[in-house]
Amino acid sequence: MNQELYGFINPNEFREINHKKSRAMTNKVIDLKSAIEKFVKDGDYLGIGGFGMDRIPSAALHEIVRQKKRHLTLAGHTATHDGQILCAGNCVDKVDAAYVVGVELLGLSPNYRKTFQEGKVKVTEWTNATLAWRYKAAAMGLSFLPVRSMLGTETFEKSRAIEFKCPFTGDKYALVPACFPDVSVIHVPRADIFGNCQIDGISVSDYDVARASKKVIITTEEIIKTDEIRKNPERTIIPFYCVDAIVHVPYGSFPGNMPGMYYLDIEHLGEWSEAEKSEESLNKFLDNYIYNVKDWKEYLERCGGKKKLAELRSIELLETCHSRPDRESIQSTKVLDSHFHGNDKAINPYNMTEFMICAASRVLEDNKTIVVGTGLPMLAAMLAQKTHAPNLLMMFEAGGIAPLLPALPMSVGDSRTQYKTLLSTSMPEIMETCARGLVDYAFLGGAQIDKYGNLNSTIIGPNYEKPKVRLPGSGGANDLASLCWNTIIIMKMDKKKFVEKLDFLTTPGYLSGTNSREKAGLPPGTGPFKVITDCCVLNFNKETKEMQIESLHPGITLEEAQNRCSFQLKTTSQTILDTKEPTQRELEILRKEIDPKGQIIS
């Protein structure tokens, strides 16, 4: 095992650190510059609150870059724009990678990815759940926790987890070491001067992050009186005795999404991606928005000021719609003659993205539970709810359960996934619900898939340390595929994606076939269920666990499907079916209700 273990100390040492902390309710309000100078040191392990683009501490991260902190270890726990900022400032040289280099639906960050591909950072792989459980172990004062994720995969091999046989059942578990960040930065909607912090909506892992960290810096939209905190104590997620500094930073998560306050600024995030296309343009961008900026207020002014912030608030409060920036403008839909039958062509045109979504939605049954991923899976689940499965219970990895989605979310942490939920909870709660056997479906995609349904979303190329392409990593995919009863996979089919051998086994399918999944220690009765592609639907042989064709899409031959695949596709003993085409009703719901801006379907 060559990977390094980051963020670990003996829990007894952590107890001594906490023993020396003051329990006094003193005023901890400080300015941002002073907070970063005092509490963030070169070489620190840095924990970051929020999830993806949701409630990230952007202002604090800008200040870390401005002060040129170096040799930080990044907790890459769905580290999207936060990791993008820190890598742009050359602040990081070690990463615990659960989800990195991506900015969710906005794609992969060129510079962030380049940092990994050039070997500028040392990496240890984790998953979203295992990194969250590492925090939980530390918060419990333990040195490890046993989990049932990662087993049998290269994600496990490139982590610092170890395999362990349960002394009670004889089952295999992965033991994940506790993670004690030197300092964590968490952005919240409100706090008092002592550090009692309240969070609206999903809490992700912030409950445990705050308790696992040696030092905690809180940035907050608003400072309120302690009497107000006491009126709603159930909303207090972080207590004062965990907190070292309180910094008042309105709009401190911009350009991220602050639930109930302002939506993410897609245009400014697009500017970041454009700037990263060359070193020269990135340096100019950083000078303009970070290094030559006096403070956070000036940065906000340069990004559009009060007018822009009012627009983002209006979008968040559902007073207006939003669309993607011009650089992401939607291409016109190209319809192929082979996609239609007879007179349907005149009334039922569709593209293959729409076809895949409709085919995937029909797999989902009513009165079942599903954890939904970003992109096509989200649209398929929303379509199923609006057609044949109104009681399909949707869960989102970051913590939203059964929301009434008012619009298409940009990510699984988007505030839309928290709209009128039955429960807004945490990432550990979602993953632990999967572990208890309460989730029927996980809906995933990947860069590569093999004949046993194993997925790669980590690297392309033979060199792990300097890959040809660095991908985000597991995120929550490994956890969901390990713990949910059925995994549904949706991805376009070509020989570069459907491969004989993965460049990296990120997420478990049936591993090497037959009963290898159970032998590895994964829960029995779980595994891949269907693969939805742009030419066919596949399932898995019950004995060998190899992929086989269930149905072909209209106009697609068996030979054409095989030509798109690097391994030999099996067929069932029965006649291969024709995949049902999208109905007019399905297409109308997709285009008018679910994705009217064409963010995904076009």
3-state helix vs strand vs coil in the chain, percent to 5: 35, 20, 45
Comparing CA positions, the residue from 420, 408, 441 lying closest to residue 590 is: 408
Strand, helix or coil at 44?
coil
Q: Which of 154, 271, 397, 586 is catalytic?
A: 397
Q: Are 504 and 154 in contact (CB under 8 A)?
A: yes
| C-alpha distances in Å from residue 576, one per residue of 172, 209, 530, 537 | 39, 51, 15, 10
Strand, helix or coil at 15?
helix
Cα torsion 232, 238, 241, 245: sign: negative
Is 581 annotated in the active site?
no
Q: What are phi and psi of 102, to 5 degrees?
A: -105, 155
Distance separating alpha carbons of residues 213 and 57, to the nearest angstrom: 16
Q: Are 109 and 102 in contact (CB under 8 A)?
A: yes
Q: What are phi and psi of 487, to 5 degrees?
A: -105, 125
Distance separating alpha carbons of residues 4 and 123, to the nearest angstrom: 8
Distance separating alpha carbons of residues 288 and 276, to the nearest angstrom: 14
| C-alpha distances in Å from residue 207, one per residue of 136, 140, 331 | 9, 11, 42
Distance separating alpha carbons of residues 267 and 484, to the nearest angstrom: 36
Residues labelled as active-site residues: 397
